[in-house]
Amino acid sequence: MTFATLGLIEPLLRSLETLGYQTPTPVQAQAIPAVLAGRDLMAAAQTGTGKTAGFALPLLQLLAMEGPKVTANSVRALILVPTRELAEQVHEAVRQYAENLPLSTYAVYGGVSINPQMMKLRKGVDLLVATPGRLLDLFRQNALKFNQLQTLVLDEADRMLDLGFSEELGNIYKALPKKRQTLLFSATFSDAIRTLAGQMLNDPLSIEVSPRNVAANTVKQWVVTVDKKRKPELFVHLLRKGKWKQVLVFAKTRNGVDALVEKLQGLGINADGIHGDKPQATRQRALDRFKASEVQILVATDVAARGLDIEDLPLVVNFDLPIVAEDYIHRIGRTGRAGNTGQAISLVCADEVNLLSAIETLTRQTLPRQMEHDFEPEHRVPDTDASGQVVKKPKKPKKPKTSSGGKRNLGKWVESGDASAPEPSIKPVRKVPVFNTGPRKRKP
């Protein structure tokens, strides 16, 4: 199968040839004809399988072949994404695909000045990539109209809900034309997303080219157990032991990102970090330097996880396990992309055992464990398995307490042979200790 057999027009085929695209991926092979036919679509595929081309190529073709010219402050197609980084990544791909088409494209997101974006939208844009918050800001300031909208794409919609965009999505939904094509693309579909799809999509075609919530089999995964306070020391040890050249590290909090970067830089290791508190220009600069191998270690929070597209990234390290189990799939999906192999290492302490159990249940696999010499944890991480159970070791039976004379301390229950014991047919109401209340013998 080729892209030509999927029905794509010659200008798009020329762009794909320039980019080196030869054979459609499974999600592209199924999605492109369906989108060209005007169907609503709900597609699930692992990261790195070509989802962006799966919706962008047919969408650009529909815009080039159908509909009137875009008017001032209007858009004809809208792609919603959860983060700034993903907005930049998706728009760059769209721009490359549309190189030979007479279409205008643009991306809007928060963290930067809104005025240049308002100026750009004055002439109208054929295809707009946007984050939900900034899109609503532009709409409420009358800088954007939806009367010409033909197609809505929700990319990584589950992540948008995880980040708390459900209210924004609802407000956007109310402002859009009722008659439109709607496409949902994501690596995973939660039950909440399936409910959302039922509200927003009309008789959708469902595509799942990989098992639901399963990590790519091109990624080798394992866990290293360690005490929480020794994680930074262990990371540096593994870095030097494995002679790692390029590593993407995920930390749970913004403070955690900054603390690890500061420690690594203090040791002379070339590291940088990105999180939601950093300006967009700073985040983009750090990402560009990491892609160019000018930075060895890039530490990020989950807010940046789905916008990072790094070619041939060999290794991902989960310095902290994610709170949301699905984020584990997106994190390790940064490596092992497009058929390449990769590795994903998670540093896990005892406090994270329930998070580990949730990940193993979601991915339906028990992650192999290792311990590093001199880093064995004082606080043991309980065993887990893919059934969602934390496997606790059986407790040793307590030895009966003895008095100084060697006799058994009857404690809270009396011996069955004691004269003061209740009849077998009578169930004691409470556990009452029994003591000898007779006269005490005097010692001679």
CATH code: domain 4-208 is 3.40.50.300
Using a pLDDT cut of 90, give the percent of the chain over it: 51
Domain borders along the chain are: 4-208, 219-391
Query: In the structure encoding, which two tokens stand for residue 382, read together?
Result: 């309980």
Mean pLDDT of all residues in 300-316: 74
Give how far Cα 44 sits from Cα of 49, 86, 87, 328, 331, Å: 10, 17, 19, 16, 17
d(C-alpha 104, C-alpha 109), whole Å: 17
Cα angle vertex 244, ends 240, 249, to 5°?
Answer: 100
Q: What does the pLDDT look like over 57-83, one tens digit per residue?
A: 999 999 999 877 999 999 999 999 988
- Per the CB < 8 A criterion, the answer to whether 205 and 63 are in contact is no
The alpha helices in 221-379, defined as continuous H runs, are 231-242, 254-266, 280-291, 325-332, 353-363
pTM for this one?
Answer: 0.63
Mean pLDDT of all residues in 239-256: 93
Strand partners, 298: 248, 272
d(C-alpha 364, C-alpha 358), whole Å: 10
Average pLDDT for the chain = 83
Give how far Cα 206 sits from Cα of 189, 209, 420, Å: 11, 10, 73
Give how far Cα 125 sits from Cα of 71, 142, 221, Å: 8, 15, 43
Mean pLDDT of all residues in 176-196: 81
- Residues 6 or more apart in contact with residue 338 via CB below 8 angstroms: 48, 49, 50
**CATH superfamily, domain at 219-391:** P-loop containing nucleotide triphosphate hydrolases (3.40.50.300)
- Per the CB < 8 A criterion, the answer to whether 1 and 24 are in contact is yes
Q: What is the pLDDT of residue 133?
A: 92
Q: What is the pLDDT of residue 120?
A: 95
Q: Which residue has the higher pLDDT, 90 or 191?
A: 90
Least confident residue range of 51-60, 75-84, 299-308, 377-386: 299-308
Type of residue numbered 223: V
Q: Could you please report the per-residue DSSP string of 190-241?
A: -HHHHHHHHHH-SS-EEEESS-TT---TTEEEEEEE--GGGHHHHHHHHHHH
Mean pLDDT of all residues in 359-387: 89
Assess whether pLDDT exceeds 50 at residue 420.
Answer: no
Least confident residue range of 55-64, 185-194, 370-379, 419-428: 419-428
- Residues 6 or more apart in contact with residue 55 via CB below 8 angstroms: 31, 35, 41, 43, 79, 153, 155, 183, 185
- Per the CB < 8 A criterion, the answer to whether 86 and 62 are in contact is no
Mean pLDDT of all residues in 275-298: 86
Q: What is the pLDDT of residue 393?
A: 55
Q: What does the pLDDT look like over 208-224, one tens digit per residue?
A: 775 555 566 778 999 99
Confidence at 397, pLDDT banded by 50, 70, 90: low
As a whole number of Å, the CA-based R_g of the chain is 29
Q: Give the residue carrying structure tokens 């039950």.
A: 191
Assess whether pLDDT exceeds 60 at residue 395.
Answer: no
Positive or negative torsion for Cα 397, 398, 404, 409: negative
In the chain, count H helices and then E strands.
Answer: 14, 16
